[in-house]
Chain A
Amino acid sequence: MFSWFANPLRFMRLSNWLAPVCYVLAALLIGWGLWQGLWIVPKDEYQGGDIMRVMFVHVPAAWLAMASYMAMAAMSFVWFIWRHEVADIAAKSIAPLGAVWTAICLATGSIWGKPTWGTWWQWDDARMMSVLFMFFLFLGYMALRASMDTRQKAARAGAILAMVGAINVPLIKFSVEMFTSLHQNASVMTADGPKMAAVYLWPLLASALGHTFLFAGLVQTLMRAEIWDRRTAKANAKLMAEG
């Protein structure tokens, strides 16, 4: 299956129609989810009143922060083992988007946290801390790639780091949970916990799915740009060689 996708030409043909489809689905799902979330569903006073509506952005962002890092690590692994160039292009393209969604998750978490917890930043929230370290993993990955002098080296260094990060994520999460469970004040907030009323479920799911499609579409667009970039660089190098 990997080999089937590994062909850049096939990827270009596929993403040519798949990316726009992703964007349309994303617009529909996010549009419906936000309309429901912001105007239709009742507010929950226990979750901070109207501010809880930020959930319809915050929860999808949290889901994508985790999922995108795992996707990046998986692509790195595929590249490291089989050296399929498209896998490296995918890992490279996921990184900045993952960082943006991670930042969105942190920002919306802060905005939600201020009225409910009374603070912009809650050190003893395990999810918030985990997402923060995720953000640093993305930054480190991008900085490392950017500092390598050829794209082959960037691919190798990035893959090593993404894999090291991925096997550390469970340990980081575990230690952070241990850290926060000791410092925890009784908090009313469980963003995606069992207290979730059913009325929020569908808009939330639609929104999460919509964000996923948006992410998938943007990854494809970035990958297409990268493939064009590499083609151009190759063509230029060939022209230079021919003098």
Chain B
Amino acid sequence: MSPAPIFSAFRQALGEAWAGGAGALLPLGFFAGAAVLVPLGIGTDPATLRAVGPGILWVALALSSLVTLERIFQADTEDGALDLWLQTGAPASAIAGAKTFAHWLAAGLPLALISPLLALMFQAEASADLLRNAALYGLGGLAFYFWGGVGAALSATVRRGGLLISLIALPLYVPTAIFGALAMTDAPGSDSAPLFLAASTLFALAVAPFAMAAALRLAAD
């Protein structure tokens, strides 16, 4: 089997993610908007904001992944691209994984990259920790995208699938959110949290593509 279809699926998804909705700007806008609402809701006390900042960014990251994932497989079923991808002879799991990875690259990674900026707005000290945290947001975002991708594939044929994706993905997001937020505190056990985060992301990368493949075959059926 040639890996060419997998690369092509990746390229098409990247183009689609970039073209649909002003490139990475739309998810970035959503991410920043969701985060910026928080001080309006809970007040501007610097100590409070510093304490909740990292967690708020995890929540905003989870929400924006759900919002951007809604269409990734639904569009494929509507325009017929899914039928073509399923007939390339390449494993559907690899195609689904490549597409999800492309969407993370286009919409998820930019969020991690601007997280230091938002962290500063949440009164974090400017230090190398912000870059480390950005890497953790990137890593955790990957798990969000893959589990969310399972929800997106399962609801690919459902009208108003976005609500369904959220309900399906929420319990699957729990370990990533916990390990990720924990890694950014200085609580006991937070040293090992990045490792647990990495492990749970690897678990998502290993398992989710097969679930997506089964769900996509169902969507095409």
Write the residues of chain A forming the contact surface with B, with a CB cutoff of 8 angstroms. 133-134, 136-137, 139-140, 143-144, 147-149, 153, 156-157, 160-161, 163-165, 167-168, 171-172, 174-176, 178-179, 181-182
How far apart are the CA atoms of A8 and B183 in the complex, in Å?
Answer: 51
A175 x B200 contact (CB < 8 A): yes
A171 x B203 contact (CB < 8 A): yes
Residues of B within 8 A of A161 (CB): 150, 154, 168
Residues of B within 8 A of A149 (CB): 157
Contact of B167 among A136, A148, A153 (CB under 8 A): A136
Write the residues of chain B forming the contact surface with A, with a CB cutoff of 8 angstroms. 150, 154-155, 157-158, 161, 164, 167-168, 170-172, 174-175, 178-179, 182, 187-189, 193, 196, 200, 203, 207-208, 211, 214-215, 218, 221
Least CB separation from A139: chain B residue: B167
18 contacts between A and B (CB under 8 A): A136-B170, A136-B171, A143-B168, A144-B155, A144-B168, A147-B164, A153-B157, A157-B218, A160-B211, A164-B172, A164-B208, A167-B207, A171-B203, A172-B174, A175-B200, A178-B179, A178-B189, A178-B196
How far apart are the CA atoms of A123 and B125 in the complex, in Å?
Answer: 29
How far apart are the CA atoms of A157 and B157 in the complex, in Å?
Answer: 11
How far apart are the CA atoms of A165 and B164 in the complex, in Å?
Answer: 15
A171 x B200 contact (CB < 8 A): yes
How far apart are the CA atoms of A178 and B208 in the complex, in Å?
Answer: 23
How far apart are the CA atoms of A178 and B189 in the complex, in Å?
Answer: 8
Given contacts A144-B154, A153-B221, contact A175 B178 (CB under 8 A): yes
Residues of A within 8 A of B171 (CB): 133-134, 136-137, 140, 165, 168, 172
Given contacts A136-B171, A167-B207, contact A144 B189 (CB under 8 A): no
Residues of A within 8 A of B178 (CB): 175-176, 178-179
Main secondary structure of the interface of A (DSSP, over half): helix
How far apart are the CA atoms of A176 and B193 in the complex, in Å?
Answer: 13
How far apart are the CA atoms of A164 and B189 in the complex, in Å?
Answer: 28
How far apart are the CA atoms of A169 and B150 in the complex, in Å?
Answer: 16
How far apart are the CA atoms of A144 and B187 in the complex, in Å?
Answer: 38
Least CB separation from A168: chain B residue: B172
How far apart are the CA atoms of A179 and B181 in the complex, in Å?
Answer: 10
Residues of B within 8 A of A165 (CB): 171-172
How far apart are the CA atoms of A163 and B158 in the complex, in Å?
Answer: 20
Residues of B within 8 A of A157 (CB): 154, 215, 218
Instruction: Given contacts A147-B161, A160-B154, A171-B203, list 11 more A-B pairs with CB under 8 A.
Output: A133-B171, A144-B154, A148-B158, A153-B218, A174-B175, A175-B178, A178-B196, A179-B178, A182-B187, A182-B188, A182-B189
How far apart are the CA atoms of A139 and B150 in the complex, in Å?
Answer: 16
How far apart are the CA atoms of A184 and B207 in the complex, in Å?
Answer: 32
Least CB separation from B172: chain A residue: A168
Q: How far is the CB of B99 from chain A (nearest CB, A)?
A: 17
Interface centre among A140, A164, A175 (most CB of B within 10 A): A164
A172 x B175 contact (CB < 8 A): yes
Q: How far is the CB of A131 from chain B (nearest CB, A)?
A: 11
Q: How far is the CB of B140 from chain A (nearest CB, A)?
A: 12
Interface centre among B168, B203, B214 (most CB of A within 10 A): B168
